[in-house]
Structure 1
Amino acid sequence: MSESRPNPRAERTRAALLGAARRLLAERPVDAVTVDDMVQAAGVGKGSFYNHFEGREGLVAALSGEIRAGVEAAVARVNAAETDPGRRMIRAVCTYLRYAVDEPERTRLLVRLHGGHAALGSPLNRGLRADIEQGLAAGRFTVPDVDAGVLFVLGLAQITMVRVAVEPQPEPAARLAQDLGTMLLRGLGLASPQADQLAAEAADEIVRRGAFAQPSPAGAAA
């Protein structure tokens, strides 16, 4: 069976729609953005929209999945050789903050679309839950339970991402990452000297120096 060849025109149209939706949804609630808004901003026909997506929700899901997959892949790279839950936790948070430096528009959209994912059983929180469970089992964390730990980390990380996206510069973002990272690790139960050291190392390597920064996904630009 012969493989279908990529259609450059179709790929450009899809990329234009995703880029337009990303810009619009970074500034407005999902319900305030219509298909007509998206096609107008993308400069394509409405019929072309439905060649690629079943509706607004389908485009939003594709956009959300693209952004989240990119950040999660970066977290996996950052923590590929890490086993300690404290180091994994702060390095993952710093990866999200570096993403906010590099991609402020996508960050605003990510927080807007996933700000409601405090659903504790959400697949999006699976890795976070696993790290907190491991930390509790190893005696590294002392939060009351896993759910409390998940909500604590999510809340602090999301609001910090929003702040970094307002001023997406490595140096102030790294200082903020170190200060709030220290608070996060202390809040989870790590002793102050170790929490300070882990937060400082992760903030410098990942946020300030961008050791794991990657280019934007292909086709994500308008």
Structure 2
Amino acid sequence: MNQSKNSRKKWLWLGGGLLAVLLLAAVILWPRAAGLQAQDENGDAETAVAFTGDLSASATAAGQVVAQQSAALALNRAGRVAAVHVAAGDAVQAGDVLLQLETAALERAVLSAQQGVAIQEASLATLLAPPSAADVAAAEAGLASAEAGLARLMAGPTAAEIASAEAGVRAAQADLNAAYARLNSATPDASAADQQTDVWTVRKVGLGLLMSIKGD
């Protein structure tokens, strides 16, 4: 009877141990089986080789660097760029020269304007300066000559000047009479046009002589 009880206990212990081993195996193998099933459902399975060492991770990404502050700059005049003093990425401060235009034409214009100012300043200085002794003497001489001419004009011609003018008039009249005489003694076969031309020439000469005498 005791032997039967001992045999029963032995089988109970064996059954309990076997059940515990089965449960432990199920707990260990179930996650792996579930992972293999998920890989089969996804289609692709990856195999990795386990190793001992330090782990490292890296990532690659593409992007664009954008400045925190930006400004659009423009020149106040058109021209050809002579020099660029900065490059992309340089830090600049207010007042820094970024680029420079060619200034040869502007420099020539400034020089011409400076010369014009100098000429005008010299003219102004000459105008404001007091007259020299030579200028005063020349002005006085001119005034004296003008006064003498005015006095002669106001006094009228002298007797000698009148006699000389009358003699000139008489001489001119004599020349005119001689010219008419030569015209009248011309050949009778001369054409009327030639005679009219000679008359006009004589009259023109006589008029010129009279005007010359009156002018004297």
Task: Give TM class, smaller chain.
Answer: under 0.3
- Say which structure is richer in helix: 1
TM-score, length-scaled by structure 1:
0.16
TM-score, length-scaled by structure 2:
0.17
Rg larger for: 2
